[in-house]
Amino acid sequence: MRSLSYYRAMHADMPLLYALQQLDDVLEEINQNLASLDPGRDIAIQLKRQRQELEEIKRTHAELEATARDQELELRSLDERIRQAEGDLYSGRIRNPRELDALQHDIDALKRTRDRMELQILSVWERLETQSRQIADTEAQLEQMEQAYQRHLVRYRQIKSALEAKREEHLAMRNELAQRISPSALAQYETMRKRLPPPIVVKVVEGACGFCHTLLTPYLARQLRESSELVTCESCGRLLYQEELASE
């Protein structure tokens, strides 16, 4: 039984404002969680770098392959020249000893060039093999990163849509609740919420402001009991809500 119901009591919307604040706190937390969600930018950057690296290795690999092909052609043409020179040497057509000496000298020089070229080709092939392994390794890494990225994206989208659904639900609840609050009280709460760090609506605990713990003056306590206006803490300026005074 509320013997004081004869008096005008605390602002009737205080319990609703208090509930609204709780919804706003949840909404703020949801928004913060949404803002701090990682859409995988770091992995995406790493992926891009790795792809560029792979392209670079492939490009030098293709260049080296072209070099190898050129060297093979050169080697074959050297072989051909040596074969022709040796053909001339043993054909019996050339009889002049000096010409024969010169020809033999040419053949020796060609063979030395050929040997050098063969060594070069060998080292190019070794490099090509090393690059092939690098390409395979990088592709395998890329594949793994790609999968990790996809998994991250799936998780990110799941969490994001769950949070967004929760936000929608709470926004609907908030709108519904806000409609039941008098526009002036709602406006005051909303203005204060922009100006002050939460909480805005504070419960009175043992005769003191639940936020800054300043004891309510007898005047304020009386105002809370008997006035239907919004009452603010004299010290921190927050809206005071005395739960025991709430009807229902």
Instruction: For residue 236, state whether it binds Zn ion (rule: CB under 5 A).
Output: yes
Instruction: For residue 205, state whether it binds Zn ion (rule: CB under 5 A).
Output: no
Judged by beta carbon, residue 206 or residue 248, the one nearer Zn ion is 206
Site for Zn ion in 216-235 (CB under 5 A): 233, 235
Segment interacting with Zn ion (CB under 5 A) among 46-54, 69-77, 107-115, 210-218: 210-218
> Contact 226/8 with Cβ under 8 angstroms?
yes
- Angstrom distance (rounded) from CA 103 to CA 82: 10
Site for Zn ion in 4-23 (CB under 5 A): none
Judged by beta carbon, residue 67 or residue 235, the one nearer Zn ion is 235
In the complex, minimum distance from the CB of residue 25 to Zn ion, in angstroms, rounded to a whole number: 18
Instruction: For residue 211, state whether it binds Zn ion (rule: CB under 5 A).
Output: yes
The helix (run of H) or strand (run of E) holding residue 220 is helix 218-226
User: What are 208's strand-pairing partners?
Assistant: 205, 215
DSSP, residue by residue, 170-207? HHHHHHHHHTTS-HHHHHHHHHHHHHSPSP-EEEEETT
Structure tokens at 22: 């709780």
Instruction: For residue 212, state whether it binds Zn ion (rule: CB under 5 A).
Output: yes
Site for Zn ion in 69-108 (CB under 5 A): none
Nearby residues of 103 by Cβ (< 8 Å), 6 or more positions away: 85, 88, 89, 94
Judged by beta carbon, residue 138 or residue 232, the one nearer Zn ion is 232
**By rule CB under 5 A, what count of residues binds Zn ion?**
6
| Parallel, antiparallel or unpaired: strands 201-205 and 239-241 | parallel
- Angstrom distance (rounded) from CA 83 to CA 77: 10
Instruction: For residue 208, state whether it binds Zn ion (rule: CB under 5 A).
Output: no
Instruction: For residue 245, state whether it binds Zn ion (rule: CB under 5 A).
Output: no
Q: Which of 30, 107, 209, 245 binds Zn ion (CB under 5 A)?
A: 209
In the complex, minimum distance from the CB of residue 45 to Zn ion, in angstroms, rounded to a whole number: 48
Backbone angles phi, psi at 126, to 5 degrees: -65, -45
User: What are 203's strand-pairing partners?
Assistant: 241
Instruction: For residue 124, state whether it binds Zn ion (rule: CB under 5 A).
Output: no
Instruction: For residue 239, state whether it binds Zn ion (rule: CB under 5 A).
Output: no
User: Under the rule (CB under 5 A), what is the footprint of Zn ion?
Assistant: 209, 211-212, 233, 235-236
